[in-house]
């Protein structure tokens, strides 16, 4: 989705794509590699956002596929109490004074749709991602965005929408970028399929 939006807006795209070397171990044994996997994600996102702090006259619009705050969603799902205490000492140091987005779009999916998507991704097929874990993460995301107030927010019902094939759905979303949004906007995109 971020790639499509960036293309339509002729914007620079910053994606959180670096492979996490601890992720495979995490899904095999959550207790053994959770902290390392979480710190890898946090530090990688920190570095990506640091790169956006430098002003560039040639880039007017930047699209990312993450907000750094989402890192905490996983931290609270996966870390032990002692790991979380250490994480909470690091998190403020790495997130203070970060670039804030002008708008956040949350692609809201059901747990069933997330599981369906995960099963299609080749690199994730071998990982042991349980439906219960996905249910918990989806619930945590919904809870987080229900209370999110840092920027204008579009909660986009992405169930049943294939944005790569449905240009009308992408256009519908982009039309909201031109509006003076405040607070939360709920959107079920118009589709042509």
The set of catalytic residues is 65
Q: Which among 117, 112, 164, 151 has a CA at the least distance from the CA of 135?
A: 112
Q: Which among 126, 110, 95 has a CA at the least distance from the CA of 28?
A: 126
Is 117 in contact with 11 (CB distance < 8 Å)?
no
Q: Which of left, alpha, beta for 166 (phi over 0: left; psi -120 to 50: alpha)?
A: beta
What strands, in cross-sheet order, belong to the sheet with 184-187? 104-108, 153-157, 184-187
- C-alpha distances in Å from residue 107, one per residue of 31, 42, 86: 29, 21, 30
What are φ and ψ of residue 105, in 5° steps?
-115, 120
Cβ-based neighbour number of residue 162 at 10 Å? 10
64, HSE (Cβ side, Cα atoms, 13 Å): 19
């Amino acid at each position: 989705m971020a790639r499509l939006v960036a293309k339509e807006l002729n914007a620079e795209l910053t994606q959180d794509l670096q492979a996490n070397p601890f992720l495979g171990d995490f899904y095999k044994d959550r207790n053994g590699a959770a902290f390392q996997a979480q710190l890898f994600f946090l530090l990688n996102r920190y570095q990506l956002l640091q790169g956006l702090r430098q002003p560039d006259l040639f880039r007017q619009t930047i699209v990312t596929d993450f907000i750094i705050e989402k890192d905490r969603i996983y931290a609270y799902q996966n870390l032990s109490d002692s790991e979380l205490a250490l994480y909470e000492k690091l998190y403020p140091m790495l997130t203070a004074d970060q670039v804030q987005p002008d708008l956040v779009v949350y692609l809201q999916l059901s747990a069933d749709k997330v599981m369906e998507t995960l099963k299609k991704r080749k690199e994730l097929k071998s990982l042991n991602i349980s439906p219960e874990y996905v249910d918990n993460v989806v619930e945590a995301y919904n809870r987080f965005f229900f209370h999110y107030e840092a920027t204008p927010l579009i909660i986009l019902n992405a169930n049943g929408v294939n944005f790569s094939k449905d240009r009308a759905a992408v256009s519908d979303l982009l039309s909201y970028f031109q509006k003076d949004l405040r607070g939360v906007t709920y959107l079920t995109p118009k589709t042509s399929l």
